[in-house]
Amino acid sequence: MTTRVGVVTFPGSLDDRDAQRAVRLAGAEPVALWHRDKDLHQVDAVVLPGGFSYGDYLRCGAISRFSPVMDTIIEQAKLGMPVLGICNGFQVLCESHLLPGALTRNDSLHFVCRDQKLRIENTGTAWTRDYSAGQEIVVPLKNGEGRFVADEHVLDQLEAEGRIVARYLDVNPNGSYRDIAGITNAAGNVVGLMPHPEHAVEPLTGPTTEGLGFFTSVLKQLVNA
Amino acid sequence: MARVVVDVMLKPEILDPQGQAVQRALPRLGFAGIADVRQGKRFELELEGPVDDAALARIREAAETFLANTVIEDFVVRIEEEGK
C-alpha cells in the first residue's frame, strides 16, 4: 500500500504544493489537508509547509496553532506520528509546544533568501534517517523570522540529548542560537526545520536535490514501523 | 463597555531588532539621548460584561495561551479606567 503523507494548507501557506511534489517524488502519495478539517484522512505522516499562515499576524504560527486540524495533529504527534514543520511549519510546531523554543525576527532585520549549507547532526529522527551523520547539504532558505531562541537550559538539554537535527554552516543567516537550523522532540518523530528541503528535490528548480532525503526518510521509517 | 489592556513585551534577554532599528533612527531624526528602545504590542479588549475577577482570570488565560508566547514574551493585564 502506498504511504500517505498529508500536507496542511492554512490560509497563507505558499509552499504546500512544493511539499506535495517532494512527497510524490520521494515515492509517497501526497494528501492535501485543510486547516479547518479535524480529519487527517488516514495519513501516515504530516508536513506543515512554509508560508505566512494568517499573514503572520500576532506571531508567526500563533493563530494556525489553534486551527482544528492542529488539535488532531498535536494529539497524533504525541502518539508518535511523524510530523515535519518547515519554516512557518517550524513556527507552528514551536507555538504548539510540540517543540521547545521560539522563532523571532532575524537579527539582521532583513528577510534572507539564499542557498544555505547545513550539517545534518542527527540521523535518528523519522525525517533524517536517509542522511549520514555529519553530512553536509545545500538547500534554499528564505525567512524573516527564522532566529531560533530558547533559554540556556533548553539549549543545553537539546545538545545533550542530540536533538539538534541540523546546523547552519559557513553563514548563520538569522542569528539563531548555536547555529540551530532544525530540532526534534525527544521521541524523534517531530522535526522542525527553518530551511526548505522541499525546494531542493529536482535539478531544474533547486540548487541541489539534497532535500529529498527528508521525504524519503519518513517512508523508510513508516515501512519499518 | 469596559476595556482591559494587555501589554506584551519581548523578555529583556531576547534581542529586539525592531526596537534597535527604531533606536538607531532616532538620533538621525534629531531625537538625542535615547539609550534604548524596545517595541511591544498592546491589545485593547472591550468586554461585554463587567470586569470582575472571573473576567480578568479569563483574560489572563487568553494572554498566557495566545496573546503572548511566554517562551519569549512577558505580559501585563490592566483595567483601563473610565473617562480616560
What residue type is assigned to position A90 of the chain?
A: F
Residue B67, CB-side half-sphere exposure with 13 Å CA sphere: 22
Contact at CB, A149 and B21, closer than 8 angstroms: no
Residue A82 pLDDT: 98
Give the β-pairing of A180-184 and A190-193.
antiparallel
Which residues of B are less than 8 Å from A62 in CB distance? 66, 69
Question: Chain-centre distance of CA B82, in angstroms?
Answer: 20
* pLDDT at residue A222 in the model: 83
Q: What is the pLDDT of residues A57-85, one digit of tens each?
A: 999 999 999 999 999 999 999 999 999 99
The CATH-assigned architecture of domain A4-224 is: 3-Layer(aba) Sandwich (3.40)
Q: How far is A63 from chain B (nearest CA, A)?
A: 8
Which three three-digit cell numbers place residue A1? 500500500
Domains annotated on chain B, with CATH = 2-80 (3.30.1280.10)
CA pair distance B35, B45, nearest whole angstrom: 32
pLDDT of residue B83 exceeding 60: no
Which residues does A36 contact at the CB level (< 8 Å), separation at least 6? A67, A68, A69
| DSSP per-residue codes, chain A | ---EEEEEE-TTB-SHHHHHHHHHHTTSEEEEEETT----TT-SEEEE--B-GGGG-SSTTTTGGGSHHHHHHHHHHHTT--EEEETHHHHHHHHTTSSSSEEE--TT-S-EEEEEEEEE----STTTTTSPTT-EEEEEEEESS-EEE--HHHHHHHHHTT-EEEEE-S--SS--GGGEEEEE-TTSSEEEESS-GGGSSSTTTSS-STTHHHHHHHHHHHHH-
pTM, 2 dp: 0.93
A vs B, Cβ pairs < 8 A, gives: 34
Q: Which of B18, B67, B69 is the closest to A105 by Cβ?
A: B18
What tens digit of pLDDT does each residue of B3-48 get? 999 999 999 999 899 899 999 999 999 999 999 999 999 999 999 9
Q: How far apart are CA A158 and CA A148, in angstroms?
A: 12
**With a CB-CB cutoff of 8 Å, which residues 147-206 of chain A face chain B?**
147, 149-150, 175
* Residue of chain B nearest A150, judged by CA positions: B71
Copy the grid coordinates of residue B10.
519581548
Q: Please state, in angstroms and as integers, the Cα–Cα distance from residue A191 to each residue in A53, A77, A91, B34, B80, following that order.
A: 19, 10, 11, 42, 43
Gyration radius (Cα) of chain B, Å: 16
How does residue B82 score in pLDDT terms, banded at 50, 70 and 90?
low
ipTM comes to: 0.85
Cα–Cα distance measured from residue A15 to residue A224, given in angstroms and rounded to the nearest whole number: 28
